[in-house]
Amino acid sequence: MLEVFRDLVRRVLVEDGAQDLVEYAFLGAFVATAGMLALNAIGPTIGQVYASWMDPNSGTPSLWAPPEPSAGS
């Protein structure tokens, strides 16, 4: 039984067949974490900018006013 455990430990430490998969998993976790932190950091700012565009009386965007329709063609 001890020989089987030694062989298992030796294979885990020596073989590197799945090393690239582990590296991709770490890279994916890093990208996901960085994206989550970036969105959490800029989210309130985007909300404040969008709120500044809203007309408090009507609740609609106030920076865009469509042109008046023409009388006829």
Alpha-carbon gap, residue 56 to 33, rounded angstroms: 36
The first and second tokens of residue 1, run together, are 């039984």
Q: How far apart are CA 44 and CA 50, in angstroms?
A: 10
Residue with tokens 């008046």: 68
Which has the closest alpha carbon to 14: 6, 25, 4? 6
pLDDT of residue 11: 81
Does residue 73 surpass a pLDDT of 60?
no
pLDDT at 66 over 90: no
Q: Which residues pair with 54 in a beta bridge?
A: 61
Backbone angles phi, psi at 61, to 5 degrees: -60, 135
Q: What is the pLDDT of residues 20-49, one digit of tens each?
A: 888 999 999 999 999 999 999 999 998 888
